[in-house]
C-alpha cells in the first residue's frame, strides 16, 4: 500500500508541471484574447463619442443670433399672384381617362375638383397657372400626381373649407428627372385657407427647381425621401405645416450664390420629423415670428450661410 502511494506521488509530481504549463498557456491565451476584445470595445466607444460630437456640432456650425430685429421686408419677394385666391374667369379641369394624364397647356385660372386616378400635367410655357383646389384628390399610377413641366409660376389655392390630396406612384419609370409627388421646373406657391395633404410614396412630396412659398392653409406632408425640397429657396408662413419624412424634412439644395438656396420661416405653426435633417439650407436660414418643433436624426437645423433665429421660435430648445 505504501509503495502504491509513493508511485502516485511520483506520477503526480511528474504530471503537475505539465498540467500547470497547460493551464498557464490557456490563461495567457485567454488574457490576450480579452485584451484584444477590450481594445476593440474601447476603440468603438471612442469612435462613437467622436461621431456623436461631430453630429452635434454640425447642426450648429455657425453662430446663432437669437436677438436680431426682423427685417422690414421679407428676404423672399411675395407678389400679388402668390396671394391670389380669386376664381374669376376660372375653367374647370376636364379629367382625361384615356391615357391617365390631364394636360393644362395654357396659362390662366383652373378649378380642380373631385377624384382623379391619373396625373395632372402643366405645360404652359412662359405663362402663369393658378390652380384652385376644391376637394381635389389626385392619385397617380405613373410618377408625380402633379407634374409641372413649364410655366412662369404655378399657384395652388386650397379653397376655404375644402380638403385636398395628392399621392404619387411607386412607379417613376418614365417620369424623367421628376422626383416628387408635386414636381415642378418652376416656382410653386401655396395659399388658401383649406387643407392640402401631399404624399410622396416613392420620392419627395413637394420638389421644385425654383422656389416654394407656403403662404396659408393647413399643409400635411409625408414622404419616403425629402418632405419639401427646392433649389432656389423656400418661404414658409402657413397656418399649420406638418412634415414627416424619411429623408430631409425641409431642404434647399442650390448654393447661396445670388441669394439662392435661402430658407425663411416667418409665421405659423411648423412641425418637422425627419430621418436625416429636419431643416437644411444650402444658403441662409432665417426663423422668426413662428413656432417650430424640429426633430431630425442628423440635426434639427443646419445651414451653409447666415443663421438667424429669433428667440423662442424653436419650441423644443
Q: What pTM was computed for the model?
A: 0.78
Residue 67 falls within a domain, yes or no?
no
Consecutive H or E run containing 13: helix 2-58
**Same domain (yes/no): 131, 181:** yes
Q: Is the confidence at residue 66, as pLDDT, over 60?
A: no
The side-by-side arrangement of strands in the sheet containing 250-252 is 101-104, 119-123, 146-150, 180-184, 204-208, 228-230, 250-252, 277-281, 299-303
* pLDDT tens-place string over residues 159-208: 999 999 999 988 887 777 889 999 999 999 999 999 999 999 989 999 99
Instruction: Tell me which residue range forms the domain holding 18.
Output: 1-58
**Same domain (yes/no): 219, 285:** yes
**Same domain (yes/no): 34, 122:** no
Residue 213 CA to its chain's centroid (Å): 16
Residue 64 falls within a domain, yes or no?
no
**Same domain (yes/no): 197, 53:** no
Residue 75 falls within a domain, yes or no?
no
**Same domain (yes/no): 36, 124:** no
pLDDT band at 58 (very low <50, low <70, confident <90, very high): very low
- Per-residue pLDDT at 101: 87
DSSP secondary structure code for residue 152 in this structure: S
CA dist 180 and 68 (Å) reads: 35
**Same domain (yes/no): 250, 287:** yes
Q: Which residue has the higher pLDDT, 173 or 98?
A: 173
**Same domain (yes/no): 212, 88:** yes
Residue indicated by cell numbers 437645423: 301
Amino acid at each position: 500500500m505504501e509503495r502504491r502511494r509513493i508511485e502516485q506521488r511520483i506520477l503526480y509530481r511528474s504530471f503537475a508541471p505539465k498540467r500547470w504549463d497547460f493551464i498557464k498557456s490557456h490563461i495567457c491565451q485567454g488574457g490576450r484574447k480579452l485584451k484584444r476584445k477590450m481594445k476593440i470595445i474601447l476603440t468603438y466607444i471612442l469612435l462613437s463619442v467622436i461621431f456623436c460630437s461631430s453630429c452635434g456640432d454640425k447642426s450648429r456650425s455657425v453662430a446663432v443670433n437669437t436677438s436680431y430685429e426682423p427685417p422690414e421686408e421679407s428676404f423672399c419677394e411675395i407678389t400679388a399672384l402668390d396671394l391670389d385666391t380669386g376664381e374669376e374667369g376660372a375653367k374647370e379641369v376636364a379629367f382625361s381617362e384615356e391615357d391617365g394624364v390631364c394636360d393644362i397647356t395654357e396659362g390662366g385660372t383652373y378649378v380642380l375638383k373631385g377624384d382623379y386616378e391619373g396625373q395632372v400635367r402643366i405645360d404652359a410655357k412662359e405663362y402663369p397657372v393658378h390652380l384652385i383646389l376644391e376637394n381635389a384628390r389626385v392619385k397617380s399610377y405613373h410618377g408625380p400626381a402633379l407634374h409641372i413641366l413649364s410655366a412662369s409660376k404655378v399657384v395652388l389655392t386650397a379653397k376655404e373649407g375644402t380638403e385636398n390630396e395628392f399621392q404619387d406612384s411607386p412607379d417613376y419609370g418614365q417620369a424623367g428627372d421628376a422626383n416628387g409627388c408635386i414636381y415642378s421646373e418652376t416656382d410653386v406657391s401655396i395659399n388658401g385657407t383649406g387643407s392640402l395633404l401631399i404624399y410622396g410614396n416613392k420620392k419627395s412630396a413637394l420638389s421644385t427647381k425654383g422656389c416654394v412659398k407656403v403662404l396659408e392653409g393647413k399643409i400635411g406632408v409625408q414622404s419616403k425621401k425629402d418632405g419639401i425640397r427646392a433649389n432656389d429657396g423656400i418661404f414658409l408662413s402657413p397656418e399649420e405645416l406638418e412634415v414627416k419624412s424619411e429623408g430631409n424634412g425641409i431642404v434647399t439644395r442650390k448654393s447661396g450664390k445670388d441669394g439662392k438656396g435661402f430658407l425663411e420661416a416667418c409665421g405659423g405653426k411648423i412641425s418637422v420629423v425627419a430621418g436625416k435633417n429636419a431643416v437644411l439650407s444650402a444658403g441662409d436660414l432665417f426663423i422668426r415670428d413662428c413656432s417650430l418643433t424640429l426633430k431630425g436624426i442628423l440635426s434639427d437645423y443646419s445651414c451653409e450661410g447666415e443663421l438667424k433665429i429669433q428667440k423662442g421660435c424653436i419650441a423644443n430648445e
